[in-house]
Chains A and B, each alone.
Chain A
Amino acid sequence: MFKKGILLLAILVWSLALVACGSNGNRDTAASSPPASPPPSASASGESSGTPAGEALSGEITVWAHPYVSEEKASELKAFWNAVIQDYNAKYPNVKVKYEEIPWKEREQKILTAIASGTGPDVFYQIPDQVPQFANQGVLAPLDDYLADADLADFNEGALRAGNFGGKQYALPILQETQTLIYNADIVKAIGEDPAKLPTTWDEFNAWAEKAVSKGYYARDFAGAEACCNATLYPLLWQKGGDVLAEDGSVILDNEAGVATFQYIKDMYDKKWIPADSVSNKDQFPEFLSGKMMAIWGSGYTVNVLNEEKINYVIGEPLTDKVKATFGTVGMFVVSEKSKNKAAAAEFVKLLTNKENQEAFNKLTNYIPARKSAGSIHDGDEAMKKMTEIAAVSRPGIVSPVARTIMPKIQAEIAAMLEGAKTPQEAAGAAAQAVKDELAKL
């Protein structure tokens, strides 16, 4: 009896499973064939048709964004979003906008699983190294159909290009940021150097670092865990003349420049230029703020906090070994391919990235506006003027569909190297192999 019962159950389960697979297959093919003509609402959204266009859009859109400011300014950021939504509703009274703030950590997982299950946002935030991956997975809706009336020429060219993949415009930029070393001016003086003459090459920085360490300071931070690799490895790699992928797409992370960069990181660690917990530290800002560290890798956000904490700081040039380069991302908003109200979502993205909102947003967050017409908001602010200059040599990370997935793998190899489990040569080789493996999974 027992055996029969099990058999019966097994058959039942299998048949149910097969039915489920079958029906799923059908649904997926249906979903993946795009509609032949552009969505009807796209043409209706043109400015020329006047007020009826605003009335024509209806439904609900969900917007996911992140905490771009520190906790002290959280309420101001909320006020910004409320103002944008109000603005939008004045134009499109029949669209309900739901705004949610998502923590930075694990955001990709949240967005992808939410979209996969049909509960995802209509509008969300992306940076350049995410766009190829998300577009490749069919998560992003091309915006070209909705941009007929948009003033694209006003966007900074590079920023706009970051939202373009395979000839389609998927994103409109709202911010640009750039990252560089920011020095504690008091410590610079304490080691007998001049804050007005900051290092511009690796050799100069190395000399300062030796001095700082001999006086009991850390030279700089190296947040090995979360900031990998855009804020840790890549800027150094580029400055050394290396890269992860060559122009032709081949992996060159373990070439001579790559190995030399790994070696440099290992040396910084062994010489105690960076804290011992750099292996997997998430945040060494406390060490800098409490005056134990000469320089911190930071952006406009960092400058914001330093102003609040009243630290005497100086912004450094991106260092040069062979090349002058640094990391600087572009913040963009995109529309989900699974959105039920793409036209309404696209209109929201357009409004969000217009001149006035770029000004308000970037004034608050201390980033650089991605529109030429909004470029003057930081005039008179020396620090931000400097950041804007640096933006000229900033690169937006590795642009590849695997850009995000390779980061934890490279991070693990750096950790192994810092702990002494692998030589820089081996770690660079293993990291390059991990990149190749990820590329093979595409």
Chain B
Amino acid sequence: MPAALKRLPLYVVFALLGAVFLFPFVLMALGSFQKVGRAIADPLFWIPDEPTLYNFNYIFEASNFARWIGNSLFLTLVPVAAQLFLAGLLGYIFAKKRFFGRETIFWLLMAVVMVPNQLLIIPKFIMFSKFGWVNTYASIIVPELWSIMGVFLVRQFMLTIPNDMEEAAYIDGAGDFRVFFQIMLPLAKPALATVGTFAFISCWNDLFTPLIFLTAEKMYPITVGLSSLLTKEGNFGIEMAGAVLSFIPTFLIFLFFQRYFTEGIAMSGIKS
């Protein structure tokens, strides 16, 4: 057993850090089953003495929580799907196709990467007011249909793929779409996984944009809904139940696509 013993300090460090990282989530999970009165006098108030579903029942009765989760799903999945498709397509075009002005156009598009979202939000608010888009799903979805970072990632990845297979397919008489869908898209899977995970995290967790563009409670995604719940109640149990409910979907997605999250996310850093 000496080998295992030698490893012991390592495991202790792992576990201690793990505890630090998980504590807030444990606090949240325990607290969500605790009915905390207004009179909080004890720092251990968050440990449930009589676990109850009161907080969850209250949330579903008194707020549009189910609807908010639905909104978040819609406002995330549509852009993610579109971004995946367009990142693949545009990445392919900018990596493999030879056409007039390719480099100019690409670097022009890339030039806006440094522009913070907050700079565009004011003109967009005015534009969308004129379009009648404020308080519609379009205000969130349409601007996010593709992202240049995603295109960049896929392009960089495709540049490393040799041209042989593509050329062979053309010689066999395949059209552009077939070459793209049957050869290039499957090859770009790792890059696309990265794009998808990035897009998912940023869309699902966005607070600023929907806070400004979505004015009716029914339209809120979960971030805005939860933040209104946080400021409204001042009730610990209810807040934590809300946090649990908004955490679960991201956590499930994370569990399923873990590998892409932790491995894919790193690709962007290395290639640039």
Contacts and interface: CB of A to CB of B under 8 A. Distances in A.
A–B direct contact (CB < 8 Å): yes
Interface in B210-258: 212, 215-218, 228, 231-235, 238
Nearest to A72: B58
Contact of B108 (A5, A75, A117): A5
B129 A100 contact: no
Contact of B62 (A74, A117, A289): A74
A299 B39 CA distance: 18
B132 interface: yes
A292 B40 CA distance: 11
A9 interface: yes
B231 A105 contact: yes
A74 B105 CA distance: 56
Contacts of B127: 20
Interface residues of B, number: 34
Given A71-B58, A75-B61, A114-B215, A309 B37 contact: yes
Given A100-B217, A101-B217, A286-B40, A106 B129 contact: no
Interface in A73-110: 74-75, 100-106, 110
B24 interface: no
B52 to A, nearest CB: 14
Contact of B39 (A103, A118, A290): A290
Contacts of A305: 38
A1 interface: yes
B39 A110 contact: no
Contacts of A116: 129
Given A71-B233, A119-B135, A2 B104 contact: yes
Contact of B135 (A6, A74, A117, A286): A117
Interface in B179-214: 212
A93 B233 CA distance: 35
Interface string A1-15: 110011001000000
A29 to B, nearest CB: 15
Interface residues of A, number: 37
A202 interface: no
B57 to A, nearest CB: 11
A24 B127 CA distance: 10
A117 B215 contact: yes
A290 B101 contact: no
B41 interface: yes
Q: Which of B107, B126, B134, B218 has the largest number of chain A CB atoms within 10 A?
A: B134
Contacts of B58: 71
B130 interface: yes
Contact of B134 (A5, A119, A286): A119
Interface string A112-144: 011011111000000000000000000000000
B100 to A, nearest CB: 10
A9 B104 CA distance: 12
B40 A119 contact: no
A285 interface: yes
A6 B125 CA distance: 25
Nearest to B217: A100
A283 interface: yes
B128 interface: yes
Interface in B128-146: 128-130, 132, 134-135
B215 A120 contact: yes
A9 B217 CA distance: 39
A271 interface: no
Contact of A110 (B104, B215, B238): B215
Contacts of A290: 39-41
Given A105-B232, A117-B129, A5 B135 contact: no
A110 B214 CA distance: 10
19 contacts: A1-B101, A2-B104, A6-B108, A20-B130, A67-B232, A71-B62, A71-B235, A100-B217, A101-B217, A102-B217, A103-B232, A105-B231, A110-B215, A114-B215, A117-B135, A118-B129, A289-B37, A289-B39, A290-B40
Which 6 A-B pairs rank lowest in CB-CB distance, beginning with the nearest?
A: A289-B39, A117-B134, A114-B215, A290-B41, A290-B39, A117-B129
